[in-house]
Amino acid sequence: MVRFCGMMPSSDIEKQEIFKDMSNLKIIIQAGVNGWTIIYADGSTDYMDKVDTVDDNFNEALAVAQSCLGKLIHIEDEPWSDFLEEE
């Protein structure tokens, strides 16, 4: 997998969820079988290239984000999230 500025290629993203931290800042977690990416509110990223299941990679990324930011609240049905998903 080739990343650009810490971002996963969209073709490798199989799961994406949006959270907010206790300061109401949004965090995006993306995962696929080749790794995971956390996109913080300021645009910075954490990532790991690791071949594993989508769920294991996602759970690892969530644990990393929670260790940095504390409790995260899952955001459901963001009005603009439909534009991020391929049909």
In a domain, 84, yes or no: no
Work out whether strand 73-75 and strand 45-49 pair parallel, antiparallel, or are unpaired. Answer: unpaired
In a domain, 66, yes or no: yes
Distance CA 51, CA 73 (A): 27
In a domain, 55, yes or no: yes
In a domain, 53, yes or no: yes
In a domain, 65, yes or no: yes
In a domain, 43, yes or no: yes
Q: Which domain holds residue 31?
A: 12-75
pLDDT at 23: 93
Distance CA 61, CA 45 (A): 11
Q: How far is CA 53 from the centre of its chain?
A: 15
Contact 61, 72 (CB under 8 A): no
pLDDT at 63: 97
- pLDDT tens digit at each of 87 positions of the chain: 666 666 787 788 999 999 999 999 999 999 999 999 999 999 899 999 999 999 999 999 999 999 999 999 999 765 555 555 554
Give the number of domains in the chain. Answer: 1
pLDDT at 11: 81
